[in-house]
Chains A and B, each alone.
Chain A
């Protein structure tokens, strides 16, 4: 399995969606509910018969809508297509009952619309406009960026604009990300070793980081709190942080993994926590304090101090905290292909490895309190 996403629109319950990748059996989407208090995992299964799932993403507005990129095999050709689906109503909010093993738990997804890509090529990924109304999505197909408008309550997808990457050779986008800043008008894409930023209003390239990594760039993520900061990870086993205003030099480089880094994710609220997953079967949680929005930790206003604290009100000169690796999680036996933070609980994350194992972990409590206080 390769595809993992948190249910973005859901902010109360902790849910992840996992897509399977099997050539022989019917593919499914598993909805994983994590019950925080009791530490139980509940699972619901949805059929996704059209093909194996390479990428999955959920709508930020509607809890029941999601998009997948899947492989469709016909004769001797494989095409990666994308479609938008709706979950059955009763599964949207999850259930807390322990499931039976009977097959009555599997239900089907309702196909809302296909993203027609016959003209463009294989879809690499589908991105929803963050903090939007769930009407705009961008898909990356080969060397094209396609912006779609979902109309008639997502029953129809209309291509509103597109951009193509010109250049010699077979250029192919590997991944992309929608920036939550600038009124959600920018996206960044990765192709080969280059990272490019695009403006969605004009469909033009804004910036370009050449040779971002020695080899292929696998994934990108934007810093949710700092406008111009972007993280990228690649096959040279490094994670690099960039300031898009100065693309000649990375702001920071992390070299903790010993093989290709497949995923890099910022925590949605505390951007000093960075999660990376790699094919060396490890998930590493790093604390990148020096380039986060709070390099000095949480600042407390003097007014808020209670009378008790007045006694020891020394000027606490805070030194910038050191960047460090908080923890390395080695529970996986095989390459880790996806890591995601939960959208409901900012301290929880899930990681998915090739053999289908999903591991849910938390940020160590000590660090959590350190950051909060």
Chain B
């Protein structure tokens, strides 16, 4: 009874002393607090007694001192979070106003976190608004960076959030809102730094590394977000999404560069001087190499991109990656965009301003690209799309996708344009030869023809070479069967033009119409030849197009000259020679025959003294030549 009371009294009296001892700087303020907490209730109770009052005042003063001291300590930067928490806890126990405390707490902690962010920022080169300064490669790789960021910053932020909550839970004026605002500001800065660091990723680097880095970031962020959902869930997810998209775009550009490189190789192979006796690289081989390397590269890229949606990656479960990424970024942004670009580039070879002196694409290249586009249209596009859909399954309710047939149509259009252009280019080349030969020869004073002109032989050689070239890539095509009287038709034109010559010229204006009437009637029975009809994808059609262009040019040029008798005979011989050798290249030999007939008729019309050569002699010369 009394003993206990006496002891209690004694301990009470000792309180100030103890407090003073413990509250001294460097000592143990926690014990002081505990002691004070215990004593306070009693002291308050017996306040009315002056001696107790004195004790109370004294201990009060000491505690106030302690509080001051703690406050001062709070501002000390070298506190680590744990000490900080203790400090604040003690201050709270000392009944300091919570708002001020939490302000102090946050600002102190904030300063610390800022310092960590600054360390991260120091690794990055200064943000250059114009973006033109050449940035040196970052010192560490992205995984490292994210690691440090996550463990240091995010970890500390988590701890901070946790301790804040535990400290200020339920206290008035220190609600969650302040914490969230604070955290949000910091996380925004963190994201910005991370974006900057990501932007420094040059080239394609190691995608798996990037994926791991993003994964780590996302996981740590998730931990933080569980505590503070408002700290920027969407921003974080968006950051990851943007990084992924950026990487996909880079892959697209890399694919484009790769394709252009392949094309350059093909061009070089075509243009390389061949050692005599050795055959140049066959077009089918070149095509196969080109197609397979492009396809291989595309598959490799898809494999890399698939890392982003692998099962063990945390962010792959984000709705963006399941839906929009697969459809929009990969299927549309990468695969479809690449195929479209390929078609456009191929088409550019045909549409490009080659006339203006820029080096035109070699015809073999045009042919190769036409075949490539055709193959794409028939098989490759569907294969690629199926592969993409397998690896990146699209959502049913996702945004619109480009249907396969639309891409196939584009590829076919490009192929058609390229083939048409090829026919034009080759036709123009042959036509130029014929034109020069007609324009530069003196047709009036020429001697009796003994052999076929060299230029005609060259024309046949060239067309044979073109036939071989086209045959390497395109199949034969359908030909109309040769009719039995093909070789005897050449005669008829000349015989008809001879007849009116026997009549004496009269003044009736209709006289010159006789030959025209005959040839017009003949024309009624033969189909009109369309010179530039669209070319089909087979060898025979291509060759027919080229032959039509060349022969039409020959016709026009012959019509501009005036021929003597032997000039006409030379044309006759040349025409027969061409007919002998060119009919087999054309889809329908009547086309060749018809055009050559017209050449002969026009030549006869332009001749001053039309006396055609005997057909047997013509045949003899052609056989010899």
Contact = CB atoms under 8 A, between A and B. Distances in A.
Interface of A: 20, 22-26, 28, 30, 45, 71, 73, 76-78, 101, 103, 106, 211, 213-215, 236-237, 258-260, 279-281, 333, 335, 354-356
A280 B509 CA distance: 27
Given A258-B532, A259-B531, A356-B516, A71 B562 contact: yes
Contacts of A214: 355, 428
Interface string B423-450: 0000010001000000000101100000
A20 B516 CA distance: 13
A355 B512 contact: no
Given A23-B605, A258-B531, 16 more contacts: A22-B512, A24-B505, A24-B512, A25-B505, A26-B505, A73-B444, A76-B564, A103-B508, A106-B509, A211-B355, A214-B428, A258-B530, A279-B552, A280-B531, A355-B520, A356-B512
Contact of A20 (B445, B512, B552, B564): B512
Nearest to A279: B556
B508 A78 contact: no
Contacts of A258: 530-532
Interface of B: 355-357, 428, 432, 442, 444-445, 501, 505, 507-509, 511-513, 516, 519-520, 523, 528, 530-532, 552, 556, 559, 562, 564, 602, 605-608
A25 B608 CA distance: 10
A76 B442 CA distance: 9
Contact of A23 (B520, B552, B562): B562
Contacts of A101: 508
20 contacts: A23-B605, A24-B501, A26-B507, A30-B509, A45-B509, A71-B562, A73-B562, A73-B608, A76-B442, A76-B445, A76-B564, A77-B444, A78-B444, A211-B356, A258-B532, A260-B556, A333-B520, A354-B559, A355-B516, A355-B520
A23 B608 contact: yes
A213 B459 CA distance: 24
Given A20-B512, A30-B509, A356-B513, A259 B562 contact: no
Nearest to A47: B507
Contacts of B520: 333, 355
Nearest to A213: B355
A210 B9 CA distance: 118
Nearest to B608: A23
A259 B595 CA distance: 14
Contacts of A333: 520, 523, 528
Contacts of A259: 531-532, 552
A106 B444 contact: no
A260 B520 CA distance: 22
Q: Which 8 A-B pairs have the closest CB atoms?
A: A258-B532, A76-B445, A76-B444, A214-B355, A103-B507, A78-B562, A22-B512, A355-B516
Contacts of B511: 25
Given A25-B512, A211-B357, A281 B528 contact: yes
B356 A23 contact: no
Given A23-B605, A26-B505, A45-B509, A236 B531 contact: no
A186 B552 CA distance: 35
Contacts of A279: 552, 556
B606 to A, nearest CB: 6
Nearest to A78: B562
Contacts of B519: 355
Nearest to B509: A45
A124 to B, nearest CB: 12
Contacts of B507: 26, 103, 106
A23 B561 CA distance: 11
Contact of B532 (A71, A78, A280, A356): A280
Contacts of A354: 559, 602
Contacts of A281: 528
A23 B607 contact: yes
Nearest to B505: A25
A356 B530 CA distance: 21
Nearest to A2: B559
Nearest to B511: A25
A253 B118 CA distance: 61
Nearest to B552: A259
A236 B532 contact: no
Contacts of B513: 356
B61 to A, nearest CB: 89
B235 to A, nearest CB: 46
Contacts of A335: 556
Contacts of B562: 23, 71, 73, 78
Nearest to B519: A355
A355 B559 CA distance: 12
Contacts of A73: 444, 562, 608
A69 B606 CA distance: 17
A280 B553 CA distance: 11
A355 to B, nearest CB: 5
Contacts of A237: 532
A251 to B, nearest CB: 15
Contacts of B531: 258-259, 280
Contacts of A20: 512
B67 to A, nearest CB: 80
A192 to B, nearest CB: 12
Contacts of B602: 354
